[in-house]
Amino acid sequence: MAWEDAQLPTAADSGDALPVSELVKRDAKNGAAARPTVVWFFRAKDKAANKVTQASWEYEPISVALSKFRCIRIDVDGITDRGMKRTYGTTPALHIYAPDASSLGQLEGLGKFNIDSAERLIKKSWGKLFTVSHSSFTRKMIKILDKTDKLEGCESCPRTEKALQKLREEENELVAKCQLKKNWGKLAAESVGESGEIAKALAEAKASGRNVVIEYYAASCKFCRQMDRRAYADDRVKEALKGVVYLRLHQGKNAGDFEKRWGRRKGTPTFVVLKPDGTQIGSSLTGIIAAADFLKYLKWAETGDGNQPEIKTGGS
């Protein structure tokens, strides 16, 4: 099993870093074969954590199972976007995605990461994906591989070659039986577009010719509540909000579309501006914004013209 080194994708229009799920989406959009994806977030300089995770990948039931996945690893220290670094900053971490970019689960932190927990997460994801059970596939495949290794160490002769050929046929037959349960490729291609709350806001934006300002909000976020009491209570801000289509998405309630595109942010509130066609304008902002700065931000968001103003954010 080989890990493919990768970086977070970026938005073509703004250069903003996008969540890792976009790698899966882009593969589907570009017509790549539908495959589930495992993403390993690590820090190259963290030798102790890497020793633990490497032991997991070398454990045969895990390495055999991962042969059916696309395996990507991302060095968190190479992420420059502050918001994304916060989102993916807990390492080591294992994230698993179906071919349509929906999350199948994740495991984060050295205290939770070990061979057993990694295998449990892979088994759980496997059951949602494949027609052959995880235990049956790994048990049969390990048996085939062990026999193959022993024969390849023997002196070559017609009998050995015939036995090896039979084992290869058994391996190919097992892999052929282990297919994805759904037409994930079609689902992935269809999931690239917007839906739900963001789609409604974009429809309103097209009809009115206004841009969309999205606030990604958490009910438990003290900085979000402070903005409610301060910035949003300002009459000038209330008036400026009429110049855009304002959409507040609550984490854990109606923010599914946002999280598919920009990831589940640990930092809130996060603000994003979109054109009526869904193209992002400028960079996302994360953190509490004073009323005067928020007013400046909204005035810019209304047209999206010129450079994005320098806005001071706090908290998050």
Structure confidence at residue 234 (pLDDT): 92
- Is 117 in the same domain as 218? no
Residue 172, in any domain of the structure:
no
Residue 142, in any domain of the structure:
no
Structure confidence at residue 190 (pLDDT): 47
Structural domain for 101, as ranges:
4-130+180-188
- Is 239 in the same domain as 259? yes
Token look-up 């917007």 returns: 194
Structure confidence at residue 14 (pLDDT): 66
Q: Which two tokens stand for residue 55?
A: 């032991």
Element (H, E) at 264: none
Dihedral pair phi/psi, residue 169, rounded to 5°:
-65, -40
Structure confidence at residue 289 (pLDDT): 93
Handedness of CA 5, 20, 285, 189 (dihedral sign): positive
Residue 200, in any domain of the structure:
yes
Residue 234, in any domain of the structure:
yes
Residue 137, in any domain of the structure:
no
Q: Decide which of 153, 168, 188 is a domain's last residue.
A: 188
CA distances from 81 to 66, 100, 126, 144, 284 (A): 29, 25, 32, 45, 10
Residues 6+ apart with CB under 8 A from 87: 19, 263, 264, 265, 266, 267
- Is 25 in the same domain as 44? yes
DSSP 219-275: TT-HHHHHHHHTTTTSHHHHHHGGGSEEEEEETTTT-HHHHHHH---SS-SEEEEE-
Q: Decide which of 164, 188, 212 is a domain's last residue.
A: 188
Structure confidence at residue 265 (pLDDT): 72
How far apart (Å, rounded) are the C-alpha atoms in residues 19 and 97?
12
How far apart (Å, rounded) are the C-alpha atoms in residues 96 and 39?
6
CB-based burial label for 71 (10 Å; 0-12, 13-18, 19+): middle
Residues in the chain: 316
- Is 125 in the same domain as 198? no
- Is 18 in the same domain as 73? yes
Q: Which two tokens stand for residue 36?
A: 């589930």
How far apart (Å, rounded) are the C-alpha atoms in residues 264 and 119?
24
- Is 247 in the same domain as 290? yes
- Is 258 in the same domain as 123? no
Q: Decide which of 144, 163, 188 is a domain's last residue.
A: 188
Q: Are strands 270-274 and 280-286 parallel, antiparallel or unpaired?
A: antiparallel
Give how many domains the chain has, as a whole number: 2
- Is 55 in the same domain as 121? yes
- Is 116 in the same domain as 227? no
* CATH number for the domain harbouring residue 232: 3.40.30.10
- Is 198 in the same domain as 122? no
Residue 258, in any domain of the structure:
yes
CB 289 within 8 A of CB 297: yes
pTM for the whole structure: 0.60
Residue 232, in any domain of the structure:
yes
Structure confidence at residue 300 (pLDDT): 94
Residue 147, in any domain of the structure:
no
CB 281 within 8 A of CB 304: yes
- Is 124 in the same domain as 202? no
- Is 116 in the same domain as 209? no
Dihedral pair phi/psi, residue 75, rounded to 5°:
-80, 115
Show pLDDT as tens, one digit a residue, over the chain (316 residues): 678 898 888 876 667 778 888 777 776 555 445 678 999 999 999 998 999 899 999 999 999 999 899 899 999 999 888 888 888 889 999 999 888 788 888 999 988 889 999 999 999 999 999 999 999 999 999 999 999 888 887 877 888 888 888 998 898 889 888 888 876 655 544 444 445 788 889 989 999 999 999 999 887 788 888 898 889 989 999 999 999 999 999 887 778 778 777 777 777 899 999 999 888 888 888 889 999 999 999 999 999 888 889 998 886 5
